[in-house]
Structure 1
Amino acid sequence: MANDSPDNPTQSLKGRGAISNLAGRFVDQVSTRESDGWEQALEQQQRIDTVAIEEKAKSIITTNNSPDIPFTQSINAYRGCEHGCVYCYARPAHAYMDLSPGLDFETRLFYKPNAAELLEKTLRQKSYQCSPIAMGTNTDPYQPLEKEKQITRQLLETLQRYQHPVTIVTKSQLILRDLPILAEMAQDNLVHVGISVTTLDNALKRKLEPRTAGPAARLRTIEALASAGIPTAVMAAPMIPALNDSELEAILTQAQQAGAIHAAYILLRLPFEVAPLFRQWLAEHYPQRAQHVMSLVQQSRGGKDNQTEFGQRQRGTGVFAQLLQQRFRVTCRKLGLNERKLDLDCSRFFLPPQSGDQQSLF
């Protein structure tokens, strides 16, 4: 498999976040392209089309027991994400598919057409114990491919039919397509939604998250959800030192004014292949600031690009991380955010009758 070396990144492609198809850690051989001065094609960036690949999943609910994650069950209807957020911690998962966590992650997407069917079978198992299912934990459930495939909608319809609680995190205003379903579920305390707002700067958004909704559209999405009675949170994530961290207070303020009642943040995480991809991106878009950004990242990650320890991987350590946490707490207290618990109701869960079920005589 041919991959661009981290030492020889290409220029950025319009509408794509990653700079290269950096090789995954499981690849044995890596090839690079070198120009001899004659081949102009290497200097011309070609468009890379998105390819959707059907994946027949064998199971649909993923479980975890991580102490710093507020859910134990999750569903990801898609592998890869066309949004192209360069910092996405889900990128390394593409290495397990023998694909690059770089451009492949945002152009070679996998969808699970049997997701709703698998979900229904799982919910009807006698051993199943109801607890909120999180959607949007790895890749965005409302990425552009969802408009065509509608797998997230099918999952929501199934969860609604079973009166099963769900949480959703997204950057996309496509979630408003499902507003009627979400509003009905909210009346029974079965859903809450988090909208990720990484920056209020359109120019930075286009580089950092190229195929996502703009900041104003995300704030309007928060407003529409909140107006429909859906408990809505703002996710100020990730906070990137010396790049968008100065916007933390403004993001929280504008989201609260739009109707958000809850807030969370995550310090930039750079696991596995994400770190070299992010360094390439910095060198391309912010070369004069790159060294400063990575210095602050490492100061907040024990001298490394990343921390994996529970209790530290989301927030970081050190002076910068502590100040960021204090700023977040002070602003939330000032705005009245996080005063209400967002506990969902699991007691409503039931198994609706299916065709062929034995009917009771009494």
Structure 2
Amino acid sequence: MSELPLPLPPADPHLRLKARGAASQPGPRFEPYAREWAHDGWDIPEEERLLRTEVTVERPRSVITRNQSPDLGFDRSINPYRGCEHGCIYCFARPSHAWLGLSPGLDFETRIVARPEAPTVLARELRRKGYRVAPIGIGTNTDPYQPVEAKIGVMRGLLEVLEDFGHPLTITTRGAGILRDLDILSRMAARNLVHVGVSVTTLDAELARRMEPRAPAPQTRIRMIRDLARAGVPVRVMASPMIPGLTDHELEAILTEARRAGARAAAFIPLRLPLEVAALFEDWLRRVLPDRAERVLHAVAALRGGRLNDPRFGSRMTGEGVEADLLAQRYRVSCRRLGLDRPLPRLDCAAFRAPPEAGDQLSLF
């Protein structure tokens, strides 16, 4: 069913993988050559070494990315990091690593690119005379609160800039590091400048550990919703992706737990498997859950016109067919019952003001 041949090219056999989602290194799709490991015939033992996360630094010329997708409710976003150490095997952002000449497999979760100068660049972009304010989405590609954020603090710096400018934003995350920034987020929420979406894919801790190996456990994410709500931050539970045949039976339970914790709205998207992700997900299923692999793959295809992925605008976020309609109906009924079917408060774009810089002459009035 996959777009790439199985089995996928393995990683270096002398690497020890600990808490990683992928177990292979499919080559970047833009590269003309592929690499694979082969035994050289010499029986010389090599020491096994642990595959560790590497972080490199990028100095961006701009940080605001624009989009015109009819499937998205925002037209601009910021990515503090490229790649994501959470290692979620289904992550739709994995193919973006190919633009760096890196593999969407293990490279995506072990070779992270940080952008520590992003706050400075953002402030410069917001000061441009032609800039027109609208909510910025953060975490729409890779998670801004993945583990490396605790050391580098790119997201913290971006929040400080956006607060100073009175600029509205939305955050999507499953990283508990967001609780570090409750001080800024609560102040911005009081000015109606921020919404947070917390991703909860399953309540099964063992499944989460296998599927999202370095992301917080499900109950930690429920606690995140609770702590954010208590701080006055409007929270949406993101029951995404819903994986048919694997996690879709938990939809109502996830929404119920999130509502009890203080979520005020909800969203869900059926599993998407663009480009290399389809083969990576299938490989993971056959390695980790071999008894369920065929059932899950057929259930996914039933929502996508017989394929593992449908890239068309209008259907890629919803799926199509009887199964997709039934899943959407269950979601609507649950949201209505729980009071999660109301929109979050509209973000305030009128508060946007460029703060004075050092040396600026201040107005007397």
**Which residue in the other structure is 1:236 paired with?**
239
Q: Percent identity?
A: 52
What per-residue deviation string (whole Å, max 9, x for no partner) do you get for residues 174-218 of structure 1?
100000100000001000101000110011001110001101111
**Which residue in the other structure is 2:141 paired with?**
138
Structure 1 residue 326, shift from structure 2 partner: 0.5
Query: Among 16, 21, 27, which residue is 2:20 paired with?
Result: 16
Query: Among 22, 26, 31, which residue is 1:27 paired with?
Result: 31
Closer/same/farther in 2, CA of residues 189 and 291 from structure 1, 3 Å limit: same
Structure 1 residue 306, shift from structure 2 partner: 0.9
User: Is structure 2 residue 199 aligned with structure 1 residue 196?
Assistant: yes
Unmatched 5+ stretches in structure 2: none
SS at structure 2 position matched to 1:266: strand
Closer/same/farther in 2, CA of residues 172 and 361 from structure 1, 3 Å limit: closer
User: Is structure 2 residue 159 aligned with structure 1 residue 156?
Assistant: yes
Closer/same/farther in 2, CA of residues 145 and 245 from structure 1, 3 Å limit: same
SS at structure 2 position matched to 1:238: strand
Alpha-carbon distance in structure 2 between the residues aligned to 1:250 and 1:45: 42
Query: Among 96, 101, 105, which residue is 2:104 paired with?
Result: 101
Q: Which letter does structure 1 place at the counterpart of 2:155?
A: T
- Is the contact made by 1:8 and 1:32 (CA closer than 8 Å) also made in structure 2? no
Alpha-carbon distance in structure 2 between the residues aligned to 1:292 and 1:320: 14
Q: What is the total number of aligned residue pairs between the two structures?
A: 358
SS at structure 2 position matched to 1:89: coil
Alpha-carbon distance in structure 1 between the residues aligned to 2:35 and 2:180: 44
Query: Among 215, 221, 225, which residue is 2:228 paired with?
Result: 225
User: Is structure 2 residue 363 aligned with structure 1 residue 321?
Assistant: no
Alpha-carbon distance in structure 2 between the residues aligned to 1:206 and 1:111: 25
- Is the contact made by 1:22 and 1:102 (CA closer than 8 Å) also made in structure 2? yes
Larger CA deviation: 351-360 vs 157-166 = 351-360
- Is the contact made by 2:332 and 2:341 (CA closer than 8 Å) also made in structure 1? no
Alpha-carbon distance in structure 1 between the residues aligned to 2:245 and 2:116: 41
SS at structure 2 position matched to 1:168: strand
User: Is structure 2 residue 118 aligned with structure 1 residue 120?
Assistant: no
Structure 1 residue 47, shift from structure 2 partner: 1.8
Alpha-carbon distance in structure 1 between the residues aligned to 2:200 and 2:178: 15
What per-residue deviation string (whole Å, max 9, x for no partner) do you get for residues 106-140 of structure 1?
00010112100111011100100000011000000
- Is the contact made by 1:5 and 1:23 (CA closer than 8 Å) also made in structure 2? no
Closer/same/farther in 2, CA of residues 37 and 261 from structure 1, 3 Å limit: farther
What per-residue deviation string (whole Å, max 9, x for no partner) do you get for residues 51-84 of structure 1?
1001011100011121111111100010000000
Equivalence map 1:245-264=2 (5 Å): 245-264=248-267
Closer/same/farther in 2, CA of residues 117 and 36 from structure 1, 3 Å limit: closer
Q: Which letter does structure 2 place at the counterpart of 1:269?
A: R
Structure 1 residue 154, shift from structure 2 partner: 0.2
Closer/same/farther in 2, CA of residues 223 and 31 from structure 1, 3 Å limit: same
What per-residue deviation string (whole Å, max 9, x for no partner) do you get for residues 11-37 of structure 1?
993210012111121122223234599
SS at structure 2 position matched to 1:134: strand
SS at structure 2 position matched to 1:169: strand
Structure 1 residue 295, shift from structure 2 partner: 1.1
- Is the contact made by 2:168 and 2:193 (CA closer than 8 Å) also made in structure 1? yes
Closer/same/farther in 2, CA of residues 350 and 66 from structure 1, 3 Å limit: same
What per-residue deviation string (whole Å, max 9, x for no partner) do you get for residues 322-344 of structure 1?
11101100000010102244320
- Is the contact made by 1:77 and 1:111 (CA closer than 8 Å) also made in structure 2? yes
User: Is structure 2 residue 317 aligned with structure 1 residue 339?
Assistant: no
- Is the contact made by 1:189 and 1:345 (CA closer than 8 Å) also made in structure 2? yes
**Which residue in the other structure is 1:291 paired with?**
294
Q: Which letter does structure 2 place at the counterpart of 1:95?
A: A
What per-residue deviation string (whole Å, max 9, x for no partner) do you get for residues 149-194 of structure 1?
1000000000000111111010011100000100000001000101
User: Is structure 2 residue 113 aligned with structure 1 residue 110?
Assistant: yes
- Is the contact made by 2:60 and 2:115 (CA closer than 8 Å) also made in structure 1? yes
- Is the contact made by 2:136 and 2:170 (CA closer than 8 Å) also made in structure 1? yes
Query: Among 215, 218, 221, which residue is 1:215 paired with?
Result: 218
Closer/same/farther in 2, CA of residues 333 and 249 from structure 1, 3 Å limit: same
**Superposed CA RMSD:** 2.0
Structure 1 residue 39, shift from structure 2 partner: 5.7
SS at structure 1 position matched to 2:50: coil
Structure 1 residue 292, shift from structure 2 partner: 1.4
